[in-house]
């Protein structure tokens, strides 16, 4: 700096030299005066002359941003990294046998600068701690009051991320009132969920029709709330959850799964407030909701006073209805509820408008058993996304499937039970035929002993 000043002064006339010297002295004096206030000035500049975008690690946008940053090695400059298993969809697809659990390094704390489209941006990673819960945050900041460059950056991150997703959907779980893990999973083909063909086609068409843009404007023109609810009911292991995940893949929508027994009104409210538009919401085991009536009768019939800490908070019917009917529900979401106990549901919960279509998932009949058989034993070339179990092209397999289905009593076993019997015999169908009768007898004997 001083060298530069010397060069400038030497090349000028003596009158100019004096002017520059005075100017330089003023600048130095001004800087010296401002020195004690340098942090206040920096914070004022930050407050009034910058724009920023924040992302939280519990949101998928965090994955989008960190993947974009890491793929360009921008965060190599950071000296503190968080190491995670890389569950990005692209990373899973690229995964080789030798790297079964690819690692991903994300800048964990600290600040660094990087260039994007000719502008200098700041990356700042911090960690928020509230109680036991820790969350990483990233703020991207640019100079200037317009955040357009940041929006461009996030659009780039999103484009790249969606490109890598391919055929995968994100399954969002939750911990209490916060969406936590977002598992990326290859969309399960609908053909692998075995259900009465006609019933399945009607249900899928209904959902697709609901999501059609013309349907949306039809609802809007008539001021009807644009939502549609489905109730999938039936015994455990009949494919209700599997169908919900498969339909999310078919509709190319992410799915948000709420385990109703593990939330209360407050956490349900937080979860619904964070739901995006255009997604599938799956409320599992909806019969765990308690109505005001059942609360009262529980209190009357219980002789024991609940001791301190015994009381487990649950979702109340009114709490759930508030969320279903509330402002945050009026988006193009497909709402699916599942239950093993349809008869226990309060009529208010399943009235038309909240539940528009009910579908029964039953224990396996002959047709279901033979479809499961074909699905297990058909060759890999026949198990593509559009493959139908028991396609007419494989006559021998069909005949064996029908024979097997006659060895299993109808309406007794769930598809999950039949699958669990067949899978160990997947390379030996003859052994499956020989063992099935003994298996049926032993299962029925166990059932009799239990009842």
Ligand X SMILES: Nc1ncnc2c1ncn2[C@@H]1O[C@H](COP(=O)(O)OP(=O)(O)OP(=O)(O)O)[C@@H](O)[C@H]1O
* Tokens linked to 224: 């009807």
CB 127 within 8 A of CB 164: no
Contact between 240 and ligand X per CB under 6 A: yes
- Please, which residue, 106 or 369, has the CB nearer to ligand X? 369
Least Cβ distance, residue 357 to ligand X (angstroms): 17
CB 393 within 8 A of CB 266: no
Q: Which of 194, 345, 401, 436 binds ligand X (CB under 6 A)?
A: 194
- Please, which residue, 260 or 279, has the CB nearer to ligand X? 260
Which residue's beta carbon is nearest to the bound ligand X?
239
Least Cβ distance, residue 241 to ligand X (angstroms): 3
Pairing of strands 255-259, 280-284: parallel
Q: Tell me the C-alpha distance between 84 and 123, whole Å.
A: 19
- Please, which residue, 75 or 417, has the CB nearer to ligand X? 417
Binding segment toward ligand X, per CB under 6 A, in 35-43, 230-238, 265-273, 290-298: 230-238
The alpha helices in 251-316, defined as continuous H runs, are: 265-273, 292-301
Beta pairing partners, 250 = none
* Tokens linked to 378: 């058909």
Binding segment toward ligand X, per CB under 6 A, in 233-241, 252-260, 272-280, 381-389: 233-241
- Please, which residue, 66 or 371, has the CB nearer to ligand X? 371
- Please, which residue, 169 or 419, has the CB nearer to ligand X? 419
Q: Which of 109, 126, 158, 241 binds ligand X (CB under 6 A)?
A: 241
**Window 174-193: residues binding ligand X (CB under 6 A):** 193
Closest CA to 413 of 432, 389, 439: 439
Least Cβ distance, residue 450 to ligand X (angstroms): 17
429: three-class secondary structure by DSSP: helix
Q: Which of 66, 78, 242, 400 binds ligand X (CB under 6 A)?
A: 242
Q: Tell me the C-alpha distance between 320 and 268, whole Å.
A: 8
Least Cβ distance, residue 284 to ligand X (angstroms): 6
Contact between 236 and ligand X per CB under 6 A: yes
Closest CA to 165 of 185, 182, 151, 179: 185
CB 378 within 8 A of CB 370: no
Binding segment toward ligand X, per CB under 6 A, in 143-151, 166-174, 217-225, 238-246: 238-246
Q: Which of 121, 182, 190, 239 binds ligand X (CB under 6 A)?
A: 239
CB 256 within 8 A of CB 275: yes
Contact between 389 and ligand X per CB under 6 A: no
Q: Tell me the C-alpha distance between 182 and 173, whole Å.
A: 6
**Window 355-374: residues binding ligand X (CB under 6 A):** 361
Binding segment toward ligand X, per CB under 6 A, in 28-36, 94-102, 207-215, 237-245: 237-245
Q: Tell me the C-alpha distance between 153 and 214, whole Å.
A: 32
**Window 395-434: residues binding ligand X (CB under 6 A):** 415-416, 419
- Please, which residue, 229 or 237, has the CB nearer to ligand X? 237
Q: Tell me the C-alpha distance between 292 and 336, whole Å.
A: 23
The number of residues that bind ligand X (CB under 6 A) is 16
Contact between 89 and ligand X per CB under 6 A: no
- Please, which residue, 229 or 415, has the CB nearer to ligand X? 415
Q: Which of 52, 291, 322, 340 binds ligand X (CB under 6 A)?
A: 340
Least Cβ distance, residue 392 to ligand X (angstroms): 20
Q: Tell me the C-alpha distance between 216 and 113, whole Å.
A: 44
Least Cβ distance, residue 110 to ligand X (angstroms): 43
Binding segment toward ligand X, per CB under 6 A, in 34-42, 65-73, 92-100, 239-247: 239-247
Residues in the chain: 451
Q: Tell me the C-alpha distance between 53 and 22, whole Å.
A: 43
**Window 282-311: residues binding ligand X (CB under 6 A):** none
Closest CA to 287 of 336, 340, 360, 216: 340
Least Cβ distance, residue 319 to ligand X (angstroms): 22
Q: Which of 66, 136, 238, 370 binds ligand X (CB under 6 A)?
A: 238
Contact between 262 and ligand X per CB under 6 A: no
The alpha helices in 277-355, defined as continuous H runs, are: 292-301, 317-325
176 φ/ψ sector (left φ>0, alpha ψ -120 to 50, else beta): left
- Please, which residue, 102 or 409, has the CB nearer to ligand X? 409
Q: Tell me the C-alpha distance between 107 and 125, whole Å.
A: 7
Least Cβ distance, residue 431 to ligand X (angstroms): 21
Q: At what angle do helices 2-10 and 14-34 cross, to 10 degrees?
A: 160
Write out the E strands in 265-378: 280-284, 334-339, 357-360
Q: Which parts of this chain interact with ligand X (CB under 6 A)?
A: 193-195, 236-242, 338, 340, 361, 415-416, 419
């Amino acid at each position: 700096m001083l060298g530069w000043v010397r060069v400038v002064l030497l090349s000028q006339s003596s009158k100019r030299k004096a002017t520059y010297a005075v100017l330089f002295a003023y600048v130095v004096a001004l800087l010296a005066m401002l020195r004690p206030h340098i942090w206040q000035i920096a914070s004022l500049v930050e407050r009034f002359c910058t724009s920023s975008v924040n992302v939280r690690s519990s949101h998928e946008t965090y994955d989008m941003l960190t993947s974009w940053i890491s793929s360009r090695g921008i965060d190599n400059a950071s000296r503190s990294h968080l190491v995670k298993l890389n569950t990005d969809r692209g990373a899973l697809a690229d995964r080789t046998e030798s790297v079964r659990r690819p690692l991903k390094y994300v800048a964990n704390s600290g600040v660094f600068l990087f260039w994007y489209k000719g502008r200098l941006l700041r990356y700042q990673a911090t960690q928020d701690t509230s109680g036991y819960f820790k969350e990483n945050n990233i703020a991207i900041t640019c100079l200037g009051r317009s955040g357009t460059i940041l929006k461009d950056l996030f659009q780039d991150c999103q484009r790249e991320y969606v490109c890598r997703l391919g055929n995968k959907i994100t399954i969002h779980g939750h911990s209490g009132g916060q969406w936590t893990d977002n598992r990326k999973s290859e969309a399960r083909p609908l053909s692998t969920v075995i259900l009465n063909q006609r019933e399945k086609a009607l249900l899928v068409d209904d959902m697709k029709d609901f999501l059609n843009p013309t349907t949306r404007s039809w609802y809007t023109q008539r001021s009807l709330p644009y939502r549609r609810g489905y109730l999938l009911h039936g015994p455990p292991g009949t494919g209700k959850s599997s169908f919900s995940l498969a339909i999310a893949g078919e509709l190319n929508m992410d799915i948000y799964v709420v385990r109703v027994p593990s939330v209360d009104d407050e956490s349900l409210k937080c979860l619904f407030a964070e739901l995006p538009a255009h997604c599938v919401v799956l409320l599992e085991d909806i019969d765990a909701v308690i109505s005001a009536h059942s609360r009262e009768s529980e209190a009357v019939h219980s002789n024991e006073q609940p001791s301190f800490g015994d009381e487990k908070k649950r979702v109340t019917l009114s709490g759930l209805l508030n969320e279903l009917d509330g402002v945050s529900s009026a988006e193009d979401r497909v709402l699916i509820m599942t239950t093993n106990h349809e008869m226990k549901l309060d009529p208010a919960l399943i009235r038309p408008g909240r539940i528009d279509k009910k579908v029964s998932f039953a224990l396996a009949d002959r047709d279901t058993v033979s479809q499961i058989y074909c699905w297990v034993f058909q060759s890999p070339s026949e198990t593509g996304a559009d493959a139908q179990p028991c396609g007419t092209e494989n006559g021998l397999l069909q005949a064996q499937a029908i024979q097997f289905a006659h060895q299993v009593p109808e309406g007794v076993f769930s598809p999950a039970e039949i699958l669990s019997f067949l899978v160990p015999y997947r390379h030996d169908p003859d052994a499956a035929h020989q063992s099935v009768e003994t298996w049926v007898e032993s299962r029925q004997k166990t059932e009799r002993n239990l009842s």
